Amino acid sequence: MPLRSINGIALSYDDHGAGEPVVLVAGTGAPGRFWRTHQVPALTRAGFRAITIDNRGVPPSDVCEEGFTLDDMVGDTVSLIEALGIGPCRIVGFSMGAIIVQEVMVARPDLIRQAVLMATRGRTDPLSAAASQAELDRLDDGVKLPPRYEAVVSVMKGFSRRTLNHEQTVRDWLDVFEMSPISSSVSRSQLAVDLIPNRLDAYREVPVDCLVLGFEDDLMTPPHLCREVAAHFPRGTYQEIAGCGHYGQLEEPAAVNAAIIGFFQKSRG
């Protein structure tokens, strides 16, 4: 996994396949390998080059214990695209990663050919604000959750009722999240990035084709927040994936991959 000196830090990324480049930006605390099981293989089979990023704050990228902002993370993504010489490129963001991508689209639309925004929002609603602040309070108080407890919370918040009703699937996901707890790589700064102001009006002049994917049973980013993002981008479209929660790309990867690749392939040739 190569490291690049970007904006005064070491930024880790991985590069898969060949063809037209697609940059994938993960959510809060998630490493770039988050995309490796489902999205990277689908993209490379479709003839794309998939580039995943370990955002600052997530090892082996620099942790940046002195703190950082959303603007810093936007600058990292912009600088990596420029350093790799791949702009204008396609880009995919999930949750916090989608917020980063939205701000890249505002700041440097010349670098983005098409964008897919998954489980996103353009403002902080009351529930998101309370959830982020509660996590910040926990970190500030030095409270560390046991991995098993954290796994239960992640699975309950992240998946649909359909999945939660399947006992063996629940056991499998509990094991995955207990072995790789998000808190092990989440930073206070990344949690603070989630507390964004209302940015919807800033999207109105962005000349980039974008697809916003909402997940029907998403408790963390309800679909209506995704729909309003799509409505504010002049070239935005909205698609909802049924039967999945916040981790829709893990729960319904075939449907999510088909939406992403179908959207990208429309502009080929």
- Catalytic positions: 95, 218, 246
Q: For the chain, give the number of residues.
A: 269
Dig out the tokens for 67 from the structure: 């703190």
Query: CA-CA-CA-CA torsion for 36, 71, 189, 122, nearest 10 degrees?
Result: -80
Instruction: List 3's β-bridge partners, or say none.
Output: 12
Identify the helix (H) or strand (E) that includes residue 82. helix 70-84
Work out the burial of residue 269: count CB atoms within 10 Å of its CB; fewer than 13 is exposed, 13-18 middle, 19 or more buried. Answer: exposed
Which residues neighbour 174 within 8 Å (Cβ) at sequence distance 6 or greater? 148, 151, 152, 155
Which residues neighbour 243 within 8 Å (Cβ) at sequence distance 6 or greater? 160, 162, 216, 217, 251, 252
Is the backbone peptide bond immediately before 253 cis, with ω within 30 degrees of 0? no
Cβ distance 14 to 51 under 8 Å? yes
